[in-house]
Structures are given as C-alpha cells and as structure tokens.
Structure 1
Amino acid sequence: MTIRHGCFFSYAHGKHAHMKKFKDDLVEAMKCYLEPHFDNEDELFVDSEQLGGGDDLDGKIARALCESVCMIVIYTPKYEAHAYTRREFAAMQLIEAERRQWYDLPSHLIIPVIMTRHPLNLPPQISGPGMYVDFSTYTLASGDLKNNPDYLPEIARIVDRIAAHYHHLKRCTPPGHDCGRFVMPDIPPEWRAIPPPHFPR
C-alpha cells in the first residue's frame, strides 16, 4: 500500500456560496497546515479536483479512501441525507477496522467538522466517541479559515491528529497490502429512523 493522500474529503456538494466557500476555505486551510508533515503525498483527496470522469467511479473512490490516512467529513444535514456520502463514511469505518489490527489507533480515522447542525440533534455517527470540531458559527463574513484565529486552534487539532496517524501508518502497513482490492460497501441505511406518517383524525 502506498499512502497517496493525507485526508479524504467527504462532503455533500452545494450549489450556493455558503457551502461552496466553506468547503473551499477548509480545503485551503488543511492543505496549508498539513504540507509540512508529509513527504511527497498530496495533502488531500477532493473529488472535485482529482476524480475526473470515466468509468468505475466506485473503484476510484474506493482506492482513494484506502490510500488516505484519514477522512474529514463536512457534516451538514444534507450529508446524512445523501446515500453516497453515508457510503463513503461506512467505507472509512471498514478501513479503520482493518487498520486497528495493524496498530493501536490514537484516535478514530474519521474527523467530523460541523458546518451546519441538524435542528434536532447530531446523529450518533458524528457525535459519538471521538473528536468532532464545531465550525457552525462560520458565515460568509468569517473570512478565510486559515487566517481566522477563532478556528485556528481546532484546525491545529485536526492537523495533529492526521499527522499522528500518518506516521503510524508509514511504520505499520503490512508489506504487500493492496488498495486495489478494497471495494465500496453497500449503501448503508439512513442514520435516523423515519417516523411513520401521522394523519390527523
């Protein structure tokens, strides 16, 4: 296995400025602060930049996930509503279970970044054991994340977490491990139970 990406970016695509700018700002900040930690690897895998077209998109996503050190999830209610993002999340959970056999994980591989909170609550997949960071105060007036002192401490925590996994993975990956054999899982069920319809009497 060759490490090719520091982090796989998993997010629901947005059409308008708020979601687009948050994603772009976070991508730029992570590239900026991750760069000193890596040798020749890309800091991030972002599908809009690196996926391209062609056949076997599932295979390309599966390989990119397997060749990434960690995953950053930009959580919004839209994220959990989309089957393809829940599938990426489930795929990284499988990768984490495999790597747990290689070394004592210092933390989970999935790092949720909260852009927009669900009006009810965060799902347990996001709020459960582990670390998530809350950037839900971000607006279009916040400026660049990489220069905003309100967000820099949390960005530093994310970077430190990815860097720790990177060095463990470099030392502990079994010889001959082949990411070409990793396949995407089936689409997982929705994260929230759908209540039965209520009809007034």
Structure 2
Amino acid sequence: MTIRHGCFFSYAHGQHAYMSKFKNDLIDALKCYLEPHFDNENELFVDSEQLGGGDDLDEKIARAMCESVCMIVIYTPKYEAHAYTRREFAAMQLIEDERKKWYTLPSHLIIPVIMTQHPLSLPPQISGPGMYVDFSRYTLASGDLKTNPEFLPDIKKIVLRIAQHYHYLKQCTPPGHDCGRFVMPDIPPEWRAVPPPHFPR
C-alpha cells in the first residue's frame, strides 16, 4: 500500500455560495498547514465528480479512501440525508477496523467538521466517537479560514491528528497490502429512524 493522500474529503455537494465557499476555504486551509508534514503525498483527495455510482467511480473512490490517512467529513443535515455520503462514512469505518489490527489508533480516522448543526441534534455517528470540531459559526463574512484566528486552533487540531496517523501508517502498514482489493460497502440505512406519518385529526 502506498499512502497517496493525507485526507479523503467526504461532503454533500451544494449549489450555492455558502456550502461551496466553506468547502473551498477548508480545503485551502488544510492544504496549507498539512504540506510541511508530508513528503510527496497529496494533502487531500477531493472528489469533484460524485456522479452517483457506477463501477469505475466506485473503484476510484474505494482506492482513494484506502490510500488516504484519514477522512474529513463536512457535516450538514444534507450529509446524512445522502446515501453516497453515508456509504463513504461506512467505508472509512471498515478501513479503521482493518488498521486497528496494525497499530493502536491514537484517535478515530474520521474527523467530522460541523458546518451546519442539525435542528434536532447531531447523530451519534458524528457526536459519539472521538473528536469533532464545530465550525457552525462560520458565515460568508468569516473571511479566509487559514488566516482567521477564530478558527486556527481547530485547524491546528485537525492537522496534528492527521499528521500523527500519517506517521503511524507509514511505519505499520503490512508489506504487500493492496488497496485495489478494497471495495465499497453496501449503502447503509438512514442514521435516524423515520417517524411514522402523522395525520391531523
């Protein structure tokens, strides 16, 4: 196995400025501060296609996830509503289960970044295991994340967590491990129970 990416970026696509700008600002900030930690690897894998399936795309995504150190999840309520993002989340959980056999994980491989809080509550998949960082105070007026002192401490936490996993993975990956054999799991069920329909009396 060759490490090719510091982080796989998992997110639901948005059509308007708020979601697009947050994603691009976060990508820019992480690339900036991850660069000193890596050798020849890409800082991030960002799937700009997300065409909704197909064997070729599934193989591409599966390999990119396996060749990534960690996964960044941009959490919005839209994220958990989409089957393909829940599937990416489940895939990285499988990768984490495998890597637990190689070394003692210092933290989970999935790093949730909260862009928009759910109006009811965060799902346990996001709030339960490990660290998440809350960027829900971000607005289009926040400016550049990589130079905004309000967000820099959280950016640093994310970067250090990825860098730590990177060095463990370089030292502990079994010889001959083949990421071409990793396949995407089936689409997992919805994260929240669907309430029964309520009809007014």
Letter in 2 for 1:110: I
Query: Structure 1: which 5+ runs fail to align?
Result: none
Q: Partner residue of 1:169?
A: 169
SS of 2:30 mapped into structure 1:
helix
Query: Structure 2: which 5+ runs fail to align?
Result: none
Separation in structure 2 between the aligned mates of residue 198 and residue 154 of structure 1, nearest angstrom: 41
SS of 1:98 mapped into structure 2:
helix
CA RMSD, 1 decimal: 1.4
1:120 aligns with 2:117: no
Classify 1:153/1:70 alpha carbon distance in 2 versus 1 (closer, same or farther; 3 Å).
same
SS of 1:138 mapped into structure 2:
coil
Q: Partner residue of 1:11?
A: 11
Q: Partner residue of 1:83?
A: 83
Sequence identity percentage: 86
TM-score, normalised by the number of residues in structure 2: 0.97
Letter in 2 for 1:123: P
Shift of 1:48: 1.3
Q: Partner residue of 2:200?
A: 200
Q: Partner residue of 1:57?
A: 57
Shift of 1:129: 2.3
Shift of 1:200: 1.8
Residue-by-residue CA offset, 1:109-136 (whole Å, 9 max, x unaligned): 0000000000000000000020000000
Letter in 1 for 2:82: H
TM-score, normalised by the number of residues in structure 1: 0.97
Letter in 1 for 2:38: F
Residue-by-residue CA offset, 1:60-81 (whole Å, 9 max, x unaligned): 0000000000000000000000
Question: Deviating runs (4+, > 2 A) in structure 1?
Answer: none
The total of aligned residue pairs comes to 199
SS of 2:190 mapped into structure 1:
coil
Q: Partner residue of 1:150?
A: 150
Separation in structure 2 between the aligned mates of residue 169 and residue 200 of structure 1, nearest angstrom: 56
Letter in 2 for 1:150: E
